[in-house]
Structure 1
Amino acid sequence: MVMVETLRSQLDEKDKEIEENREQIARLENARTAAEEINASLQETASSLSEQLNRVAAEKDELISVKNRAEEEVAEMTAKLNEIYQQLEESKNIRAPSNSGEVEQLKEDTEKLKQKIHEMESNHQRTVADITAMYENQSQFVEILTKKVEQFKQEKAEWITERRRCGAYLELDKMTLFHVKRNDIFKKQLHFLHGRSGSYESQIEVLKNEIAATTVVASNQSSFSQAQVDDLAYQLADLTKFKEGQSQPVNSLTMDVQHLESEKAEWTMEKGRYSSWFFVAIAVCLTDPRVTI
């Protein structure tokens, strides 16, 4: 009875472990759903970012075109300025001092042109700096997003591996439950046969006592029937033979139970190794901030 109660207690523990594994699988299913939602969100973000990059590239091309036009205008203005300087130098050599007012006007126009050229160059430099900063920021964002996507793929692969491992543990627990139940059935059969064997032994003892009493009575009463004594002896022989015939199934069941106990011990050692590794993996996943359950 103690062994049967122990097996029942172990069976309850196995049921609890199976229930915990099912809860773990449910949590992993929820994590997979969340991961799929994150994956969809990342794909949408990547698509939006791709569109933004395309727009930035188009704006960059347009700004490059504007830059080229500005450089052309600066070159034209520089050429005009050089031409004005040349005309001014020529006018200095040709015109009389009475034309000093016109020279001053040309100098003023030249200074205005210089200021305008300087403003255009400053605006051009600011535009180029803004485009460069925008492009660098977009490149950094794309790089960060790419790293997050790769990290998510790795975590998803680890989650798939962990789910398969949990499925293997669940199948192992199912096999254990089957063996424990079968062992319980064998225990009950063995207990029943032991009970019957005890009953036969008690009957044999009763018959022995009856034979002894009959022998005493026969020794005291010569008229006692010898046929009845022989019949009781035959019954005793039959019961003894039946007991010997029943001892073989009992021994066979005992060997089966011992074999199952050996298999159970081996399985317990194997499961202990897998469980220790499994709980270490779960602890790592729970302490890793990258994993969300």
Structure 2
Amino acid sequence: MGYNHSDVNKNIGSASIMGGYVYRGSTDPCLYGRYLYADLYASAMWTGTETPESSGNYTSTLIPFSCSKDSPIPCDTAAGSPLPSLGYIYSFGEDNNKDIYVLASKGVYRVVRPSLCSYTCPTERRELSEDWSCPHCKAKRKAEQKILVVKAPPVLIVTLHAYEFVSSTETKKLEVNVRFKEMFNIRGFMKQRRMESNTLYQLVGVVEHIGDPAGRARYISYVRANKMEGPKQHSSESKSWFYASDGHIREATLNEVLGCKPYMLFYERVGD
């Protein structure tokens, strides 16, 4: 894992990597199992994900971060950047609850629930706006809501929310860049993480919607031509991807696939 220091701060020059921790807390379930680290200048933060598990192979992902709307520390935006101004990041810390802290020159910050920073995590524990009617005790109770996978399927299909209603008769396409990976481990989204031994999936197909919903749209697909076998099964350098439209089929690269704007993602469980 690493990064080009000059890409972080071209004016000042080289910085240093501030090592962190593998996140084992429950506050942000979407961060679970990932190694969190940052740059000294606090202008970038990454997670390292081991894929496949116990392989010793990590991939780095640049992640966004912002201050909680309930932060007791004043949090200004860095000049020329949407990121918060933390000053310098000196170190990371972990408490007995496995919560992660960022020690910066402007204060100590704790990793909090994603929704407090306007981010979305499907497995985040959310408090319901109204008391829940308990079917067993026949009473109103305070409750939290979350969505988890009970059983890992052989094929996982993810449909993304592509439109929003602006009126009762009109829809608007959402222009949002969705980052996704070739390998996807759903262990952090399982109801019982230890019940399923195989929760690693490999991308085998993508459907992309191009155009607007007013009749001037079309769909294209990216398809993995054959199921990978042997030692290259987890390789991100696969050449077996193909682009398919209404009238054209050609070979595509994995980078092209991962750079598209997906409408549907198709994952196949590795080893099935």
Q: TM-score range by the shorter chain?
A: under 0.3
More strand by share: 2
User: Which structure has the bigger radius of gyration?
Assistant: 1
More helix by share: 1
Taking structure 2 as the reference length, the TM-score comes to: 0.14
Taking structure 1 as the reference length, the TM-score comes to: 0.13
